[in-house]
Amino acid sequence: MFSFHTLSVIPRLPANISRLNEIAYNFWFSWNRPARELFFRINSELWDDVYHNPVKFLLRVKQEELNAAADDPGYLTLYRNVMERFDGYMQGKKWYHTRYPGHAGQYIAYFSAEFGLHESHPIYSGGLGLLAGDHLKSASDLGLPLVGVGLLYKHGYFTQRINAEGRQEVEYPYLNFHEMPMCPATREDGKEILITVELPGRKVYARVWRVKVGRVDLYLLDTDIGRNCREDRDITAQLYGGNKDVRMAQEIVLGIGGVRALRELKINPYMWHINEGHAAFLCLERLRGKVQEGVNPQVAAEAVTANTLFTTHTPVPAGHDVYTAEMMDHYFSHYLGETGLSRDEFICLGWDHDRCVFNMTYLAMRFADFVNGVSELHGHVSRCMFSKFFGSVPPEEVPIFHVTNGVHTETMMAEVMKELFSKYLAPDWRTNMSNSDLWTRVESIPDDVLWAVHLGLKKKTVDFIRHRLKMQRIRNYEPAERVAELEKYLDPEALTIGFARRYATYKRATLIFRDLARLTRLINDSSRPVQIIFAGKAHPADHPGQEMIKRINDFTREEPFRGKIIFLENYDINVARHLVQGVDVWLNNPRRPQEASGTSGMKAALNGVLNFSVLDGWWPEAFNGKNGFAIGEGKEYCNEEVQDLEDSLSLYAVLEEQIIPLYYQRQAGLPGEWLKYMKNSIRTVVPYFSTERMVREYAERYYVSGITRGIHFRQEDFSVAVRLEAFKEFIRNNWHQVSVAALETGSYKGLSAGDTLNVNATVHLGSIWQEDVVVEIAYGEVDNNNLTGIKAVPMKMEKKLEDNTFLYTGKLILPRGALGYTVRVRPSSPDFTHKFEVPLVAWACGLG
């Protein structure tokens, strides 16, 4: 026997195509087909084998293939065009530079537990991560000085395999980070950056990786390094895996470690955006940092709050991360001394009195002057859900607003659709995407052209599905006839419904199977057939979700549905791309109002696919009766069984009476009315439900305000924060003295809409200065002795009475309809972000 050594020889890029490395290491390639073409034109089979990972591609491609590309005039022309486009993108002036030239270089830090950028980077699980990835892409497109911070999971989420019995099996691949589009972050001297966080009795080290997303940098923390013990190396093993201790450790690394990573990188954010509560511990680290610099803890808290935005995505109380007080003591007892807070003060920062737990969402809200939900309906649900957090403020006036989610248009729109829009809308439509007037030109696209493009995408999707199913059945050692029959599965001409999402029970994946006889008739109508494609993962700990997947796979084997209902395994960005581009209808039937926003339906609409959805999440804002279809009437239910029954009946009725007839109604071979719906969907959804609009809205409503506020609060040794903290403390300690002692109005007789009602109120303020309050008439409709649709009219201090009591007068112009009104007093300060920053209100007794 003899010994030998092995080594891998990495191909060398020829000099005239040497910048391929720049494209490979920047996720700009993920939304630019010409950039991807630089790789698959060299070797398309290898491109598929490496699952569209350009770094892995360059490590495995043959040297002679690179040399051949470097000698190919056509390839070199493509290469030069891509590099010119890339340089223009990276160096050109963007929207943010033009709109806010004074804020260049003032970083916005965006923290999220997951980022979904591309199938080659599988560290995401679903909507939250995909939204975060799209946020970074549009921030890059718009030129925002934004930096992302997250965790790098060595096993990602998980790979889903469907076995021969139709059950979900879970695989945890070991990701080789050195074969992915990212590099270790380094200091100026070239040394890799390591940060530390403290866990009970030990330090944990984390390497920082840099990911380029166009012009934006994303920094990911990785604890799988030799300096850590095995337990700590596994902190970043997988997304949403492990027990409570693992989750706590992950959130400490993300929040506290993320802030420390930015410090090591010499990045000093002017604004901080917490995307869901997982990263809320960043507030504690920012507080600690200021206290260590000598700032009073309460003043430091005001300074942290001034430039923090928290986005909540979860409309269900049980979906928010919580920890026991004992667990907080265990993990943070060493930390207390550095924050300057007592144990009780520390716990109160996130204490949920109703559930007696430390709530990460409460912590984030405690430290955020700006809070938003992710759709109009979700904003309403969040205000109601967190109203107790805001004391006596009416739920509808709770200062939680909304920015409706969007999608990164260029990532999920089919290339042929882009070409269509370039031809019929405008060559530069990409730079004017939010202009709704531009999208009216969709009507000019000839019906036969749009339909031909759509059918071509359907055929491509059917081919993709057949191939994936073939690979699955071969892997499961299924009989040859079971593999061969796939060639007859799915008809590209038939009405095709797609349902793909996370398999949580509230999403009701099996709702359409509630009446099997009715479904069988729809599926097997020879003149108007219907077929359904399912995909999605259930969390490994979610057994009801896994049973849903098993049940659907059982149905796919039954003769009435065989070849017409399909379940596609391992739903990811690549699978989603094919489905949202190549079905006719996108089905979504969660229990309202448990869908915060949802974005897959937006991606479908980009490609002319019609949404068929419960009026939940984003769909109530988009649906107009001619751009898709609604399940149910948007009612609230107390009984889930009743809700499921009524929604299923609506689902079948709309299919039978609207969707199927409309699809199969043909004139000269074209479904003319269906095409009108497609164009209306594109025209109404694409310009608004994009992350271009969404990120602009974040910038205009929150980022610039937060940056300005943060700078203001830091000036003169935090003098504004000192003043505001003292003011709030004084108000809280003395508010019990405030009351509306008397309320008087003129006669109601003979008054009608448009007339003026005079209102007088006697207000006792005790120790509080009258300049520090607003007294106002609050009015609206009356519902169960409560005001709804509240509006307010300020009152004027007419004169001072005795004992710091004042007479206020006001005039109310009467609106039409029934009216309830009262008088209230609330604290006021020019330093407030919003009027209920101190959630204290003194109300007059009763309604007028």
Q: What is the pLDDT of residues 107-140, one digit of tens each?
A: 999 999 999 999 999 999 989 999 999 999 999 9
pTM of the complete model beyond 0.75: yes
DSSP structural state of residue 690: B
> Among residues of the chain, what percentage have pLDDT more than 70?
98
Specify the pairing of strand 159-162 against strand 322-323: unpaired
Predicted confidence at residue 46, as pLDDT, reads 98
391-450: pLDDT as tens digits? 889 999 999 999 999 999 999 999 999 999 999 999 999 988 999 999 999 999 999 999
SS3 content of the chain, % helix, strand, coil (to 5): 45, 20, 35
43-94: pLDDT as tens digits? 999 999 999 999 999 999 999 999 999 999 999 999 999 999 999 999 999 9
Mean pLDDT along residues 177-197: 95
Separation CA 163–CA 155 (nearest Å):
21
200-225: pLDDT as tens digits? 999 999 999 999 999 999 999 999 99
Which residue, 771, 782, 787, is CA-closest to 843? 787
Beta bridge partners of 202: 199
Predicted confidence at residue 5, as pLDDT, reads 55
Predicted confidence at residue 9, as pLDDT, reads 62
| Sequence-separated contacts (24+) of 263-268 with Cβ below 8 Å | 263/289, 264/187, 264/193, 264/195, 264/208, 265/185, 265/193, 265/208, 265/219, 267/107, 267/109, 267/147, 268/107
Separation CA 298–CA 190 (nearest Å):
39
> Among residues of the chain, what percentage have pLDDT more than 90?
91
- Quick one: pLDDT band at residue 8, thresholds 50, 70, 90? low
Predicted confidence at residue 815, as pLDDT, reads 84
Predicted confidence at residue 233, as pLDDT, reads 98
Predicted confidence at residue 751, as pLDDT, reads 75
Q: Indicate whether 6 pLDDT > 60.
A: no
Lowest pLDDT segment from 189-193, 262-266, 691-695, 745-749: 745-749
Which residue, 150, 170, 322, 176, is CA-closest to 236? 150
Predicted confidence at residue 636, as pLDDT, reads 86
Mean pLDDT along residues 11-22: 95
553-583: pLDDT as tens digits? 999 999 999 999 999 999 999 999 999 999 9
Q: Indicate whether 650 pLDDT > 80.
A: yes
Predicted confidence at residue 189, as pLDDT, reads 87
772-793: pLDDT as tens digits? 999 999 999 887 777 889 999 9
Asked, as a colleague might, if the bond just before 593 is cis with ω within 30 of 0, I would say yes
Predicted confidence at residue 820, as pLDDT, reads 87
730-742: pLDDT as tens digits? 999 999 999 999 9
Mean pLDDT along residues 472-496: 96
Separation CA 648–CA 644 (nearest Å):
6
Torsion sign over Cα 59, 61, 62, 67: negative
Mean pLDDT along residues 628-637: 94
Burial class of 215 by CB neighbour count within 10 A (0 to 12, 13 to 18, 19+)? buried
Mean pLDDT for all residues in the chain: 95
Label residue 670 left, alpha or beta by phi (over 0 means left) and psi (-120 to 50 means alpha): beta
Separation CA 542–CA 386 (nearest Å):
27
243-257: pLDDT as tens digits? 999 999 999 999 999
Query: Around Cβ 479, how many Cβ atoms within 10 Å?
Result: 9
- Quick one: pLDDT band at residue 846, thresholds 50, 70, 90? low
Predicted confidence at residue 10, as pLDDT, reads 76
Separation CA 146–CA 130 (nearest Å):
17
